[in-house]
Amino acid sequence: MTEPTRLFSFMNPLAIEIWIYVLAAYLFVSLTIYLLAKLSPMEWRSIHPCDVDHLTISNQFTISDSFWFTIGTLMQQGSDIYPRATSTRIISSIWGFFSLIIVASYTANLAAFLTVERMINPIENAEDLASQTEISYGTLDSGSTMTFFRDSMIETYKKMWRIMDNKKPMAFTSTYEDGIRRVNQGNYAFLMESTMLDYIVQRDCNLTQIGGLLDTKGYGIATPKGSPWRDKISLAILELQEKGDIQMLYDKWWKNTDETCKRISSNKQSKANALGLDSIGGVFVVLITGILVAFIVSFFEFMINFRRQAKLMRITHCNCKNHNQISYPPAKDSQTRTDLAYLPPPRSLWVEMLEELRFAFWCTNKRQRPELNSCCTQCQN
């Protein structure tokens, strides 16, 4: 039977835990890109570099832009935002690879689901077989099944007989083996007696029986007219039926033999499997590894920029102290003294990084911030 179509059947190609993990990965990567962009000095750009009194730098990754950039990559769409720093480019590349694998796996498995849905029992009964033309059908020539179709008064069976008679002799076979061989070759349905059909299907897993019985005929034992064995044989058969001996003999010789194949349930055969964590879990490992590498690279970027800025601040401070001497107005002896430029107290690398993270968490929607001057305004005049 065909499974009922559900409203959210498009989610079947991936297991529910995969959808949850993809959503969690999307949130985590978006936040990671935002934090790395705030830590990396290469993501900050000066807005008005000529205005030395009010140096303002800007960062393109706000929290909303980070989420938009990540979802755009997942949906295979472009974006006006592009990363500049090495760390943000690493995580963006890993996320792009992750998105490629997830989308490709989903698309391939979705095609498998749609194909299986179309192939689930396309022919259920004789009416379906008679109303189509792609699969030809026939029966044993001069057999009881052929006689049944030829003499039937049911419209469906009369239609099937006309089609078989028009395709004669291609629709008929001389032996059962010939009919089974044509079925295995494809696009052919062989109509035969139910007892023989059941025996063959139990031993060839490539064959299947579609629909129920078209006609019911019982087997009998023929005796001469007036034979005294007639009633005795009939009573013996009835007694065997009542005790279940005939069914036991049928199961013994038809089903419980070493020749019967181990047939898998049709429900399992007709259903494609959703991709789980065991199938595509490796791409999540690659994503986590890429995130760790991006964090390490971002730390070194921040450390190198911190040391460069600290060295530049010391040099600028010394220049201001040596070259900018002004006369302090309250001095009565008219002596000239040096007005030292203000130098913020030195902070360690970890404190500086903590301040950057605190700014990122407190000011999530701010693109701009002031840049600390390396020398005071009076020293620059």
Domain around 192: 126-216+233-255
- d(CA 66, CA 82) in angstroms, rounded, equals 10
Tokens 């997830």 belong to which residue?
A: 102
Provide the pLDDT confidence category of residue 272 given band limits of 50, 70 and 90: low
pLDDT in tens, 50-100: 555 555 667 778 888 888 889 888 887 777 778 888 888 898 899 999 999
Least confident of 9-13, 134-138, 334-338: 334-338
* DSSP string covering 112-123: HHHHHHHHS-S-
pLDDT score, position 21: 92
pLDDT score, position 354: 74
pLDDT tops 70 at residue 18: yes
How large is the angle between the packed helices 155-166 and 144-151, nearest 10 degrees?
120
pLDDT tops 60 at residue 138: yes
Examine the domain organization and report whether 188 and 150 are in the same domain.
Answer: yes
Q: Is the peptide bond before 224 cis (omega within 30 degrees of 0)?
A: no
Evaluate whether residue 208 is within a structural domain: yes
Quote the pTM value.
0.50
Examine the domain organization and report whether 24 and 48 are in the same domain.
Answer: yes
Provide the pLDDT confidence category of residue 271 given band limits of 50, 70 and 90: low
CATH code, 30: 1.10.287.70
pLDDT in tens, 149-164: 998 888 989 999 999 9
Examine the domain organization and report whether 143 and 24 are in the same domain.
Answer: no
Cβ atoms within 10 Å, residue 157: 18
- Residues in CB range of 45: below 8 A, 6 or more apart: 57, 58, 59
3-state DSSP helix/strand/coil % of the chain, to nearest 5: 55, 5, 35
pLDDT tops 60 at residue 2: no
Distances (CA, A) of 28 to 66, 250, 263: 11, 63, 46
Evaluate whether residue 187 is within a structural domain: yes
Examine the domain organization and report whether 99 and 207 are in the same domain.
Answer: no
Do residues 280 and 21 lie in contact, with contact meaning Cβ atoms separated by under 8 Å? Answer: no
Examine the domain organization and report whether 108 and 131 are in the same domain.
Answer: no
Evaluate whether residue 344 is within a structural domain: no
Examine the domain organization and report whether 134 and 245 are in the same domain.
Answer: yes
Cβ atoms within 10 Å, residue 329: 5
Evaluate whether residue 320 is within a structural domain: no
**Across all residues in the chain, what is the average pLDDT?**
76
Distances (CA, A) of 160 to 134, 165, 169, 172, 204: 14, 9, 15, 13, 26
Three-class SS of residue 173?
strand
Instruction: Identify the domain boundary among 255, 286, 311.
Output: 255
Is 145 annotated as belonging to a binding site? yes
Segment 169-173 long-range contacts (CB within 8 Å, at least 24 positions apart): 169/141, 170/136, 170/138, 171/136, 171/137, 171/138, 171/139, 172/138, 172/139, 172/140, 172/141, 172/146, 173/138, 173/139, 173/140, 173/141
Number of domains present in the structure of the chain: 2
Nearest to 374 by CA among 315, 324, 321: 315
Name the percent of the chain lying above pLDDT 70: 71
β-strand pairing of 56-59 with 188-191: unpaired
Is 193 annotated as belonging to a binding site? yes
Do residues 190 and 145 lie in contact, with contact meaning Cβ atoms separated by under 8 Å? Answer: no
Instruction: Identify the domain boundary among 191, 224, 255.
Output: 255
Examine the domain organization and report whether 148 and 251 are in the same domain.
Answer: yes
Examine the domain organization and report whether 95 and 16 are in the same domain.
Answer: yes
pLDDT tops 50 at residue 223: yes
More confident residue, 269 or 109: 109
Evaluate whether residue 33 is within a structural domain: yes
More confident residue, 289 or 280: 289
Region label for 259, one of left (φ > 0), alpha (ψ between -120 and 50) or beta (otherwise): alpha
Examine the domain organization and report whether 175 and 72 are in the same domain.
Answer: no
Is 99 annotated as belonging to a binding site? no
- d(CA 232, CA 12) in angstroms, rounded, equals 62
Evaluate whether residue 276 is within a structural domain: no
pLDDT score, position 212: 76
- Residues in CB range of 335: below 8 A, 6 or more apart: none
pLDDT tops 70 at residue 129: yes
Residue 352 identity: E
Evaluate whether residue 182 is within a structural domain: yes
Mean pLDDT of 12-26: 90
Total count of residues recorded for the chain: 381
CA dihedral 364, 368, 369, 374 (to 10 degrees): 140
β-strand pairing of 368-370 with 56-59: antiparallel
- d(CA 214, CA 233) in angstroms, rounded, equals 28
Three-class SS of residue 217?
coil
pLDDT in tens, 288-346: 998 899 888 888 888 887 777 777 666 555 554 444 444 434 444 444 444 444 445 55
DSSP state of 326: E
Instruction: Identify the domain boundary among 115, 145, 162.
Output: 115
pLDDT score, position 343: 46
- d(CA 297, CA 91) in angstroms, rounded, equals 10
Examine the domain organization and report whether 166 and 244 are in the same domain.
Answer: yes
Examine the domain organization and report whether 89 and 192 are in the same domain.
Answer: no
Evaluate whether residue 343 is within a structural domain: no
Examine the domain organization and report whether 38 and 130 are in the same domain.
Answer: no
